[in-house]
Amino acid sequence: MPRGKFTNHKGRNRRFTNPEELEEERRREEQKKKWRQQQGDDSSSEEEASGDKKISEEESGSDEESTSEDERKAKGVSNLIEIENPNRIQKKSKKLSTLNTELDGKPQLSRREREEIEKQKAQAHYQKLHAEGKTEQARADLARLAIIKQQREEAKKRREAEQKEKETAAKLKTAQTQKALGKK
């Protein structure tokens, strides 16, 4: 019994397969493959058979390696469904004429850049209309300015009238003091 609460079984009962057992298992697999080929049940083990063909061709050293790679069947369902990896970048050669036309055209702008340019154009258009007085805000500003101008003119007239009154009052006072002093 282990002394602690936790036990580790990693180091116990390790079993290694014998090289003879591995060799015997490989022979049995080869015999099964040969039997399947003889019985005509080759369709279920096409992948294994194509692997054996590659090994035999490499050992023989024939020049048919390139043709056998094209002829061999794909593993799984890849022979049924044609799939392209969207992450794989395929290098495409471009013609010089297409490159020149791409360079001559306007540069492609991102969505943010297009929105920023449209925003600036809209702002400039609004400023132009505002300066002409065609916007609601410009009309409100002009009405406010007219009221302020009117109030300032009235205040100016009042100040001038008060100034004239003060001057006349000052003249009257000086005239009365002169009269009182008897200078005239």
Domain presence at residue 161: yes
What local confidence, expressed as pLDDT, does residue 65 receive?
A: 46
Domain boundary among 41, 71, 101: 71
| One-character DSSP codes across 125-167 | HHHHHHHHT-SHHHHHHHHHHHHHHHHHHHHHHHHHHHHHHHH
Contact 135, 126 (CB under 8 A): yes
Strand, helix or coil at 60? helix
Domain that holds residue 176: 112-181
| Cβ-proximal residues to 93 (8 Å cutoff; 6+ apart), any chain | none
Locate tokens 């061999």: which residue?
Answer: 72
What local confidence, expressed as pLDDT, does residue 127 receive?
A: 92
Domain presence at residue 4: no
Domain boundary among 42, 71, 100: 71
| Cβ-proximal residues to 36 (8 Å cutoff; 6+ apart), any chain | 42, 44, 45
What local confidence, expressed as pLDDT, does residue 125 receive?
A: 95
119 has a pLDDT exceeding 90: yes
Q: What is the count of structural domains for the chain?
A: 2
Question: For 4-23, how does the pLDDT look when each residue is reduced to its tens digit (9 = 90+)?
Answer: 677 766 766 667 788 899 99
Domain presence at residue 106: no
The arithmetic mean of pLDDT across residues 143-167, rounded, is: 96
Contact 51, 60 (CB under 8 A): no
What local confidence, expressed as pLDDT, does residue 14 receive?
A: 64
Residue 117: half-sphere exposure toward Cβ, Cα within 13 Å: 6
Mark whether 177 and 116 lie in a shared domain.
yes
Q: d(Cα 39, Cα 4) in Å, to the nearest integer?
A: 59
Domain presence at residue 49: yes
**pLDDT averaged over every residue in the chain:** 78
Domain presence at residue 31: yes
Domain presence at residue 143: yes
Domain presence at residue 76: no
58 has a pLDDT exceeding 80: no
31 has a pLDDT exceeding 90: yes
| pTM listed for this prediction | 0.33
Domain presence at residue 99: no
